[in-house]
């Protein structure tokens, strides 16, 4: 009887051990799958970050172009119209072109959150910076963008009403195309124009600071993502 007990005990231990090994191997397999999914998401995030940085660079160039036009108009108003009407209209249209804003891509981050893959990220710095960017910085940027849009939409409407301005904007060496206009000297030299330019210049300077800060944040995230992939 003792022999049978020993035999059955050993078989029981072997079976339990086999089950535990199976659970262990299955858990490792699932962990490997989850880590692979997380790494794939990080790679997608890196691609999005690169695209967004390039987009930010384009909008920094655009805002600098519009700000330069705004400064030229200010100088022209101070010197009492030393610029041709064509040049004035060109640069006024360029100021209005500052309406265009940066729109970030948030799909990969939302996917990380909804799938709980964010928990698989080893770097606490990466997680903290991800939440800060997408839950704070970009939300604040969205609010500011809406405020800027109000200023620039109103300014472009005034250009249409007071100068009958028809123009086209594009990306390139010569981004402003004037189709037609009727110059309104009285409005151009009015306090309304000067006041609008002061407000728009302030908005462009603030937006440029925000874009440059966002670019730094995205660059930090890019470095942290690369470090995360090296670790895992």
In the structure, what pLDDT confidence band is assigned to residue 103 with cuts at 50, 70 and 90? Answer: confident
pLDDT for 170 equals 82
Q: Does pLDDT of 48 surpass 70?
A: yes
pLDDT for 30 equals 64
Q: For residue 175, what are the contacts with CB-CB under 8 A and spacing of at least 6? A: 62, 65, 94, 97, 169
Averaged pLDDT, 205-232: 91
pLDDT for 27 equals 61
Q: Which residue has the tokens 């997380």?
A: 38
pLDDT for 207 equals 92
* Cα angle value 70/142/158 (rounded, 5°): 40
pLDDT digits 0-9 by tens, 7-38: 556 666 667 766 667 665 556 666 666 677 88
**133 touches 112 (CB < 8 A):** no
pLDDT for 9 equals 63
| Whole-number average pLDDT of the chain | 86
pLDDT digits 0-9 by tens, 173-193: 778 999 999 999 999 999 999
pLDDT for 200 equals 93
Share of the chain above pLDDT 70, in %: 85
d(CA 193, CA 155): 9
The pTM is what? 0.80
The burial of 182, by beta-carbon neighbours within 10 Å (0-12 exposed, 13-18 middle, 19 or more buried), is given as exposed
**94 touches 69 (CB < 8 A):** yes
SS3 track for 135-158: HHHHHHHHHHHHHHHHHHHHHHHH
């Amino acid at each position: 009887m003792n022999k049978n007990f020993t035999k059955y005990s050993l078989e029981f231990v072997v079976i339990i051990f086999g089950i535990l090994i199976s659970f262990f191997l299955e858990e490792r397999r699932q962990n490997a799958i989850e880590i692979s999914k997380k790494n794939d998401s990080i790679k997608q995030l890196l691609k999005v970050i690169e695209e967004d940085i390039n987009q930010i660079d384009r909008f920094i160039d655009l805002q600098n172009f519009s700000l330069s036009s705004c400064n030229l108009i200010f100088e022209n108003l101070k010197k009492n119209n030393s610029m041709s009407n064509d040049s004035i209209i060109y640069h006024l249209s360029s100021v209005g072109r500052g309406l265009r804003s940066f729109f970030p891509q948030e799909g990969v981050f939302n996917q990380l959150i909804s799938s709980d893959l964010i928990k698989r990220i080893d770097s606490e710095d990466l997680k903290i910076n991800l939440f800060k960017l997408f839950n704070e910085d970009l939300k604040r940027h969205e609010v500011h963008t809406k405020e800027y849009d109000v200023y620039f939409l109103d300014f472009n409407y005034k250009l249409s009403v007071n100068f009958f301005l028809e123009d086209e904007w594009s990306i390139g060496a010569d981004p402003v195309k004037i189709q037609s206009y009727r110059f309104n000297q009285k409005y151009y030299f009015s306090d309304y124009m000067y006041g609008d330019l002061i407000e728009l210049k302030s908005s462009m300077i603030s937006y440029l600071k925000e874009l440059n800060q966002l670019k730094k944040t995205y660059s930090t995230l890019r470095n942290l993502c690369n470090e995360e992939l090296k670790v895992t």
